[in-house]
Structure 1
Amino acid sequence: MDRTLGEFALGRVLAYLRWCGLVLTPEAVRSALQVVESALSQGETDLLRRVMDDLPRRFALPVVQAPPPLPPVRRGSIGYG
């Protein structure tokens, strides 16, 4: 049986919240369901984008600290010339 777009979006939201370290309490699941319901009321076009854009407004998500892309550049000599 194929999942509907709403079921797929809810699964994505719950997985994302879990990966962010949030505990999925019944209140958190209800809030996630409300996010999906609100986005579905606007139509199925771009549903996942609207749902993911709405999550930071509804949940206190941790700030992601990305490591620097490269090590710092330091001047030095390897003995040429």
Structure 2
Amino acid sequence: MPLIKPDATELEYLKARIVGLAALHREIAALSQAADLPALLRMGELVDSHLRELHPAVINEYEMVAFRGQVREMTHNCRRVLAH
């Protein structure tokens, strides 16, 4: 099945979505590099802020819930490692 070329509005939306999601994934991955608990908490707050910026313009409600779950799990695991 051939892809349908997006119109100009949809193309701009797709570009914004790609940029936003790529940045979000980098931020979530960066949580694993936190040096200490305060840094981890600050980074988690920044990721949450970015999620609020992306919703609802770039991500839908289901994606928001899924990303928040990923952030929560990553933060929880990093907290356990930092506490060790």
Tell me the TM-score normalised to structure 1 length. Answer: 0.33
Structure with greater contact order relative to length (CA < 8 Å, sep ≥ 6): 2
Larger Rg: 1 or 2? 1
Tell me the TM-score normalised to structure 2 length. Answer: 0.32
